Amino acid sequence: MVTGHGRHYVVEAGDGSRITCHTRGKKSDCVVGDLVRWRASGDEGVIESVEPRRNLLHRQDEWKTKSFAANIDQLLVVVAVEPVFSESQLARALIAAERAGIPSRVILNKRDLPGFEAQRRRLDPYVAMGVEVLELTLKHAPDEARARLAPLLDGRATFVLGPSGAGKSTLVNLLVPGARATTAEISHAMNTGRHTTTTTEWYWLDAARSSALIDSPGFQEFGLRHIDPQELAGLMPDIRAHADCRFYNCTHLHEPGCGVRAAVEAGAISESRYRIYREIRAELAPG
């Protein structure tokens, strides 16, 4: 499935043709990236079933958590020198990917702007725990960006996300020249008038349909509420590396003999990362 709106979806057949489909009944369990079984019904199609997923990502609002992309090979998070990115949002995206078993990379965009070094230093803890950070200027050095990204995207389904203004749309249009035309075509097919920013879409990067880019809604919708509070430390590599504590069920908040808090005091875990851990844990286990 390549995109959806409400109970209507665009499904791509094995020959590359696309058809608008709907699900049976009122409940909709399909997400972009799903492999589905469907049958023709007049000019449209009916989705009969969804094949088992390799992984699943979620978004959330004030009221509920909802799945929105499946069968992803890697996550590519675009942040920038300007506007200054939220480390909390970045951390949440990486935690969600870790929970789903999806490898992650980060692009630090707008390398040519003043303030680059300061934002690079903010990413030092992520580099230290093994996250690859690519420093690019997507708008003003597009050829370099294509050359560096091409081998990383080859043969993979890459989910790309980032906050407004970071350069995510520039990246998508750089790698998928017909992205805007495809979006308009899909919108017309589903009679949605215009495509909303909450819609996730699947684009092929090559004629062989072996490499794909999945464009996504904003950071603010990334969901973590499906994670158990006791899982959280294990999903943050720097926290996990120091979770050698006196108590097996240590929350890393107040217990004596806590390896994580000792590592924070020693500077082995950054204050900002520990603050993010405490914030998220409080959300997952309020009170």
Q: What is the CATH number of the domain that holds 195?
A: 3.40.50.300
Residue range of the domain that includes 241: 229-284
**CATH number of domain containing 9:** 2.40.50
Residues 192, 268 share a domain = no
- 60 lies in some domain: no
One domain for residues 262 and 140: no
Give tens-digit pLDDT for 239-277: 999 999 999 999 999 999 999 999 999 999 999 999 999
Is residue 200 domain-shared with residue 244, that is, in the same domain? Answer: no
- Within a domain: 58: no
pLDDT at 257: 97
Does residue 188 have a pLDDT over 80?
Answer: no
Same domain, 209 and 236: no
Among 221, 243, 270, the domain boundary falls at 221
Shared-domain flag, residues 242 and 183: no
Domain match, 240 and 213 both = no
Q: Which residues are annotated as a binding site?
A: 109-112, 162-170, 245, 250, 252, 258
In a domain, 61, yes or no: no
Radius of gyration of the chain (CA): 20
- Inter-residue contact 240 to 247 (CB < 8 Å): no
Residue 85 counted as domain residue: yes
> Which of 221, 242, 265 is the last residue before a domain boundary?
221
- Residue 190 maps to a domain: yes
Residue 59: inside a domain, yes or no? no
Count of residues in the chain: 287
User: Do 160 and 236 reside in the same domain of the chain?
Assistant: no
pLDDT digits 0-9 by tens, 10-61:
999 989 999 999 888 766 789 999 999 999 988 899 999 999 999 999 877 6
Residues comprising the binding site for GTP? 109-112, 162-170
Q: What is the mean pLDDT of the chain?
A: 89
Are 103 and 204 members of one domain? Answer: yes
Residue finishing a domain among 195, 221, 247: 221
Kindly report the CATH number assigned to the domain that includes residue 240: 1.10.40.50
> Do both 26 and 149 map to the same domain?
no
Spatial strand order of the sheet with 74-80 comes to: 36-41, 44-50, 18-23, 8-12, 3-5, 201-204, 212-215, 157-161, 74-80, 104-109, 132-135
Percent of the chain whose predicted confidence (pLDDT) is above 90: 72
CB 126 within 8 A of CB 107: no
| Distance separating alpha carbons of residues 109 and 23, to the nearest angstrom | 39
Q: Do 36 and 11 meet the contact criterion of CB atoms below 8 Å apart?
A: yes
Q: Is residue 56 part of a domain?
A: no
209 and 93 co-located in one domain: yes
Distance (Å) of CA 139 to CA 69, 169, 172: 27, 10, 11
Q: Is residue 64 part of a domain?
A: no
Confidence (pLDDT) at 265: 97
Question: Is the dihedral angle over the CA atoms 44, 50, 51, 53 positive or is it negative?
Answer: positive
Which pTM does this prediction carry?
0.89
Q: Is the pLDDT of residue 97 over 70?
A: yes
- Regarding whether 30 and 101 lie in a shared domain, the answer is no
Residues making up the binding site for Zn(2+): 245, 250, 252, 258
The pLDDT assigned to 63 comes to 61
Number of domains composing the chain: 3
106 and 34 part of one domain: no
- Contact 243/55 with Cβ under 8 angstroms? no
216-226: pLDDT as tens digits? 876 656 668 88
